[in-house]
Structure formats: structure tokens, C-alpha cells
Chain A
């Protein structure tokens, strides 16, 4: 019987470990207030996840509460975001909601939430995208690419990381602005898109600038898709300089279920700003070569509503709107 007691103790320990594993992140220790859960609607290790985890400590300090990062992945980020839309608006459940689930997915299919289901706390990151080709590609500028595309309609193959994602919309925007036809090859994310370029099945794709910089060994940027050059990487030429006004950032920010009290919202907004301004966060962004960005609650809400409308128009033009 002694054996069994020992095993049960062991199993109890293992079960506790399992339960804490299910919470996924090690909560940052702090005293006082109720813990705050930030839902990341994608798997761990991606850009959204890393940015959120970089903010974890700063937010915990500012709020004097544990901050837990929870990954609820699935359906292009809509599962995690809808979970937060349904939560109680008491400031303890937030989502790091990226551009896709907030402003493109609601136009593509029926979702249990829309742009008005949330209170907007802050924009936490925004990075421009680039049009990337293989390092040894014959194209050296957007002009080369467009000229080739015009001569050989339908022969350029464009790798699309996800249907209705910002890179997809940016590619549609490019084809529309330049008057070229491309062959669209769907792949599952940035890694497979890079593979499609390297093995020669695709000619171009549109990653965010941080992914491009990490893989600059094997990639060449034809155009940065924002109005001005980046201070951090001034050598990347913009599309605007080359005659195409394409501006497609990938961004995300903290949102809460609609109906937050103003005082709670203000506290969360301040905590977000504090975390983003902190040195550890800025250092991490520098390592990732990701430009830092911030908008407060009011500006962020206006920004999301504006993007919601512009992206709807782009999707409508491409014939992708849900019927």
C-alpha cells in the first residue's frame, strides 16, 4: 500500500504540472489585483505571441497583478478573439487582436463578433510589409517585376500565406495598381511561403518587415509597403517612390470586451503604454528589427474602424466578400 500512496502522490504532482501547463505561460509574479489574461489568437512563437510576451512583465508591474498569456489558436485568429468578445467586460480578459481577425475576417465569413464588440485599449505594434523575391531573382525593382508581369500575364506566381490576410490583400492591391495578372498559390504561413520561393515554385510573397529582415540572407526586398522609408532600415525603397501608393502594415493591439468602465480602461491603457515604453520591450523589438508603434485608446478605436472600412472595400473589389 505504501507504493500506491507514493504513486498517487507522484501522480498528483504530475497532474498539477499538467494543469499549470494548460495555462501555458508562467505568470509573472506580482501581488494585489486579480490576474489579467491576455489571449493571443495564434500559436506560441509567432510575431503576435512574442510581442505580447515581451509586454507581459511591464504590464504586470503597472497593473500590480499577474498577467497570463494564453494562446487560443484557430480559424485565422477568430476563435481566440471571439472568446474575448464573449468574456465579462471587467478588465481581466483581453486579447492581443491583430489586423486580420479585427478588420478582414469579419468580411469573409459570419463571425460571432464584429468591430463593435470590443473596447479598444491600445495599438501595440505595427510593422510594414515588403514585396520580397529570392536573393538571386532577376528583378531588382518594383518596375522590373511589373514590366515582366505585363509581358507575361498570369506567369508570376504569388505565394499567399492565408486567404484574406493582409499579405493577400496587398498582393491584390499590387496587381490592381500595376494592372498585372498573377497566379495565386496558397501556402500555410510565412515559413512555407519562404520555402515556395526558395524551391522555385513561387516568384514573390509579402512578409512583414521583421520576417524579411530575419531572412535577409535569402531574400531581396523590391518595395516597402508604406509611405515613408524606415528609420531602422533606410535602404529599403518604398513602393511610393516607385510610383505605387501601396501601404499595408500588419498591426495589432489590446482589446477588451465592449462595456469596460472608463477607469479600468484608463488603467489598462496606461499599463500598455508603460510596457511599450519600457527598455526590455524596446530592446526585444530592436532584436526582431520590428519598428515600435503605439496609439492610445481613442486613436486606436478610430484607426480600427477606418481600416475595417478600407479593407472591406479592397476585399469587395477582389470579389472575396461573404455573400
Chain B
């Protein structure tokens, strides 16, 4: 209790509160802008933390982190252009909802779901931090392989009826992820003697291209399509009614649990979590027929999941010193500069710091909600910008975003290429989200499979002797076979 009070006094300083607000604001903005994601936002504020005391420095980083995961969903809704990979699933329900003229409501759903998911994961971090960290060590490469395969089944969920096309798009994603250095031998694959390709194809430039550029290209080609007229677009911020919430509380809880679980496993991340939560919602929702047409279930599931990653991703980062992804790696770097040594001892000897982090996260989530609510009228107003001007602006911002990831002009060409390819694929109604799933999961699956085979000395059967992995394999098989079983049973009945 005394420690909690110390933590409160540490946080209740103007500088810390300012750091929280400023950090969350910057986070939301970099999240909103396509291409500029969490990593870039954290890198931007990193130099400032050097000159700050410990708690404000941590508060600034946490604000940027949580804000950026949320911010990407706004662009996904308003422009069908996920600002970050984590929001790719959000676009699938949010944009159709905005097209109906209800962007204000869509932002209300995702803002509330993000905040609640974020708060849920703070509770997980507070109550189960070290235990969860120990549990995450049960996941060796073999379990990651099984989890990766399981997550691949999401392709079915996001293909909305066009399964064959979805699988092809997923295959394209996996093939793109194989370009560059082989992760085990270092040999170069599919680089065609291009030096730039030795670094592989970046996920963010591809997302900028597939979503932002292709959306703009399609709009240019198809300016007069019958959509809700710009003047009929509702602007503002509207929270869903309680009557709409009540049937979706299960989705919220499930999304938060999925996010917290996936986040605690180093090396997965918010994009994976939101795809799993989305396809899980699509499988189980009584309103599953509405998916792809602006169903709030999908928004609640994927936004609660990706924000629930924020708190639990700090579990392995703080309790083990193992950052799960490039985002937590930058945060860990900043913490180490502040003289914080991660590890199990942190939760024993520096509880005051841990409590301070919990409290900061709680405040960050509340501030995030406020920024979302106050900003929504501005963001939704974007829909009323005359389309030619809007398209020009988005193209410029997206180009800067694609360049900014690695400061490499080659990435801009990748983004333009992906934009043309995305426009063609979408014209022939191929879903593009599976490409993202393939690119996110491809490297995890390949690396863990090959690591697993190195560890078992090439014995593939040993993969089925580990209980967690076996369970995941069985679930994956069950999900894949379930539609078949359902069809057979339906046939028997008739």
C-alpha cells in the first residue's frame, strides 16, 4: 500500500502528467498517419527521454506506445487505410461502417474497445505479471510453430467468402516474406542480384501500398461510384448505446483475453492478436452474416485485442528482459538508459517502479479515450474534404510514411509497386488482408519450424509430443475441418 502511495506521488507531478498527455497525443498522430507506426513514434521521442527523469521518461514512451496502437484504427475507418499493421483487421468492418455514413459511431466503438482492452491488459500485467512471464517460457520454437499455423487459419476469417482468393493472397504474403537472407544459413533468396532486396521486403511499405495507395488509385479510377455523398457523412464522436454493447461484452472480453495472451508471448505482437480475435469473432458471432459489411462485433474484437497487447507485451519485456517485437525493443532500450535493469528481480526489488508503470498505463488509456473523443470530430471531417484534394494529401503522407520506416527510398518504390498490385487484386475482388497475415506469420512459421527441427535433430514427430503444441495442432485441424463437418451434417439431415 505504501509503495502504491509512493508511486502515486511520483506520478502526480506536472512533468509526468504532461509527458503522458504529450506522449499519447504524439502516439495517436503517428498511428493515424499511414506508415508512421509505433516504432517510429518511439524513436522520435527517444532523444527527449535522455534528458528526463525516470518516471516521466517512461510515461512518455508508454503514451506513444499505447496511443499509436489505437491511432491506426482511425485511418482504417475513415480512409480504409490502416495507419499501422495492427489495424489492418479494423478496416474490414470500420470502413464499411463509415461508408454508411456512421464514421462517428465506428470511432466510438474502437475508442471504447481500445481503452477497455488496454485497461484489461494493465490488470493482467498487475495481477499476473511474473506468473505470465514464466508461462511464456513454456513456448519454445515448437509451440511457436503450432501457434503460427493456428493463426494462419485467420485467412479464412478475413477472406469473406472468397476462400480460394484469400489463400492465394496469403500465399503471396508468405512468398514476399521469404525474400532476403535465409534466417538459418544467411544465404540470399529471391533477390535477383538486387542489393536492396537482401534486406527483404518490409511489411510497412507493403501495407502502405496495398491499402493506402491502392485505395487512392481505385478512387481515382472510379470517382463517381455510388457512395454516401460527402455532405451526408456524419462527423463527430458517438458512443454506442448500452443496448448495443450488451450483446458484445463477450466479444470484448474474448478480444482482451486473446490480446493479453498473444502479447505475453515474445515475438508475436498486436497484428497477430487482432487477426486472431477478428476471425474468432467471425466464427462465433451470432451476427456473423454481417461481417465485412460494417459489423461492430469485428471492431470490438480486434481493437480490444490489439490494445490488450500493450500491457501484456510489457510482461516479458520487464520480467525477463525479452522484448517481443521492435516496439518493445525500443522501449526496453529507453528503460535500460534510464538505469532500469529488467528481470525477475524488478518485480521484487523495484515494486514502486512497477506500480508507477501500472498507474501510468491506466492514465494513458484514459487520456487516449479523451484524445479519441475530442479528435474524432476533426478526423471524421476528413471525409468531407473534396475527394481530389484528399487523394493528393493521402498520397503525399503515405509516401513520407513508407520512406520513414527505414529512411530508405527503396521502400517507397516497394510501396508504389504494392499499390499497383493491390489495386489490380482488389479490382478482381481478391482480399488483400491475407497478404499481411502471410507476411506477418510467414517468418515466424519458417523460423520456428527450422529452429524446432534443429532442436529435435530433424525429428518432425517430436513436434507432436509436446502437450501445448499438440493441443494447438488439434485446434487448428478442428477449425479447418469444422466447415466440412457442418456441411456433411446438413446433408444428412436433408
Q: Interface with A: B88-96, B206-214, B328-336, B432-440, which one?
A: B328-336
Beta-carbon nearest neighbor of B30 in chain A: A21
Residue of A nearest to B41 (CB): A21
Contact among B183, B320, B333 for A45, CB-based, below 8 A? B333
State whether A21 touches B266 (Cβ < 8 A): no
Residue A109 CB within 8 A of the other chain: yes
Chain A nearest CB from B431 CB (Å) reads 28
Alpha-carbon distance between A157 and B455 when the two chains are bound, in angstroms: 8
In the complex formed, the residue of A with least CB distance to B385 is A7
| Residue B44 at the chain A interface, CB threshold 8 Å | yes
- Contacts A10-B378, A199-B137; A22 near B400 (Cβ below 8 A): yes
Q: A7-B381, A11-B393 are in contact. Are A214 and B341 (CB under 8 A)?
A: yes
B196 x A79 contact (CB < 8 A) = yes
Residues B267 and A45 in contact, CB atoms below 8 Å apart: no
Q: Is the CB of B29 within 8 A of A14?
A: yes
Q: Which of A129-165 contact B (CB under 8 A)?
A: 157, 163-164
- Over the window 46-67 of chain A, the binary record of Cβ atoms lying under 8 Å from chain B Cβ atoms (1 yes, 0 no) is 1001100110100000000000
Contact status A214-B393, CB under 8 Å: no
Asked whether B48 lies within 8 Å of A26 as measured between CB atoms, the reply is yes
| Inter-chain contact B397/A72, CB cutoff 8 Å | no
Query: Any chain B CB within 8 A of the CB of A43?
Result: yes
B171 at the interface (CB under 8 A from A): no
Taking CB atoms and an 8 Å cut-off, the chain B residues in 329-385 that contact chain A are 329-334, 336-337, 339, 341-345, 378, 381-382, 384-385
Contact with A along B31-42 (1 / 0, CB 8 A): 011001001111
Segment of A188-196, A224-232, A245-253, A265-273 engaged in the interface with chain B: A188-196
Chain B residues with CB below 8 A from A179, complex form: none
**Cα of A8 to Cα of B385 in the assembled complex, Å:** 9
Q: Please, which residues of chain A bring their CB within 8 A of the CB of B316?
A: 195
The answer to the question of A201 belonging to the interface, with a C-beta cut-off of 8 Å to chain B, is: yes
Partner of A191, one of B33, B186, B188, B266: B266
CB-based contact B404/A18 at 8 Å:
yes
Q: Measured between alpha carbons, how far is A91 from B337 in the docked complex, in Å? A: 29
Residues of chain A with a CB closer than 8 A to B30's CB: 21
Bound complex: CA of A90 vs CA of B394, how far in Å?
35
Q: Assess the B345–A217 pair: CB atoms within 8 A.
A: yes
Partner of A24, one of B180, B183, B336, B404: B404
Q: How many interface residues does chain A have, given as a range?
A: 35 or more
Residues of A within 8 A of B200 (CB): 74-75
Complex Cα distance A17/B181, Å? 34
Find chain B residues with CB under 8 A from A157 CB.
Answer: 455
A288 in contact with B140 (CB, 8 Å):
no
Partner of B29, one of A8, A17, A76, A183: A17
Contact A22/B321 with A163-B185, A201-B141 known, Cβ cut-off 8 Å: no
Q: Which residues of B contact A25 (CB under 8 A)?
A: 43-44, 47
Asked if residues A79 and B406 are in contact (CB atoms below 8 Å), the reply is yes
Q: Does B10 contact A (CB under 8 A)?
A: no
In the assembled complex, the Cα of A182 lies from the Cα of B298 at a distance in Å of 48
Q: Which residues of B pack against A, CB within 8 Å?
A: 29-30, 32-33, 36, 39-44, 46-48, 50, 137-141, 180-181, 183-186, 188, 195-196, 198-200, 266-267, 316, 320-323, 326, 329-334, 336-337, 339, 341-345, 378, 381-382, 384-386, 389, 393, 396-397, 400-401, 403-404, 406-408, 447, 450-451, 454-455, 457
- 25 pairs of residues in contact across A and B, judged by CB atoms under 8 Å: A4-B385, A15-B400, A17-B33, A18-B33, A21-B41, A22-B404, A22-B407, A39-B407, A43-B39, A45-B332, A69-B47, A70-B407, A73-B406, A74-B198, A76-B181, A110-B195, A163-B181, A183-B457, A185-B451, A186-B454, A191-B321, A215-B341, A215-B342, A217-B345, A288-B336
Report A's interface with B, CB cutoff 8 A. 3-4, 7-8, 10-11, 14-15, 17-19, 21-22, 24-26, 39, 43-46, 49-50, 53-54, 56, 69-76, 78-79, 82-83, 108-112, 157, 163-164, 183-188, 191-192, 194-195, 198-201, 214-218, 284, 287-288, 320
Starting from the known contacts A3-B384, A75-B180, A191-B332, 20 additional A-B residue pairs (CB-CB under 8 Å) come to A3-B381, A7-B385, A8-B385, A17-B33, A22-B400, A22-B404, A22-B407, A24-B43, A44-B43, A44-B46, A53-B50, A74-B408, A109-B186, A191-B323, A195-B267, A200-B137, A214-B336, A215-B321, A216-B341, A320-B186
